[in-house]
Amino acid sequence: VIFGKSSCADFYKEAYTAVVYHNRSPDFHDEVKIKLPASLSDHHHILFTFYHVSCQQKQNTPLETPVGYTWIPMLQNGRLRTGHFCLPVSLEKPPQSYSVLSPDVRSDIFACYF
């Protein structure tokens, strides 16, 4: 459950952040508040999907196109993960069982963006 902003609905299943137009190295400063389950497991994670957003819609093309994926497991050694993270970004959508993998695992589907 993701809490909505003050002028929006109470809860959401996803949240979006804003970036500056044509910025190839965006900084993300938006804050997202999440209601976590009382009992977390190794399968709980946050999935990030990166989109290319077109300013002008062309015929038969969406405004938003997914261009990368990454995730962060909520627990590490049984404790809630905190801090700053540099995560590799996968160009392909992760497989069904990705939540049990650490995103730091090297694979040929990852490309790291900073």
pTM: 0.73
Kindly state the DSSP code that residue 98 receives in the 8-state scheme. G
Question: Residue 70, class by beta-carbon neighbours within 10 Å (0-12 exposed, 13-18 middle, 19+ buried)?
Answer: buried
What is the distance between the alpha carbons of residues 66 and 1, in angstroms, rounded to a whole number? Answer: 22
Mean pLDDT of 89-99: 79
pLDDT tens figures, 7-34: 676 788 888 887 777 777 777 777 888 8
For residue 110, how many other CB atoms are within 10 A of its CB? 19
Helices (H), 18-106: none
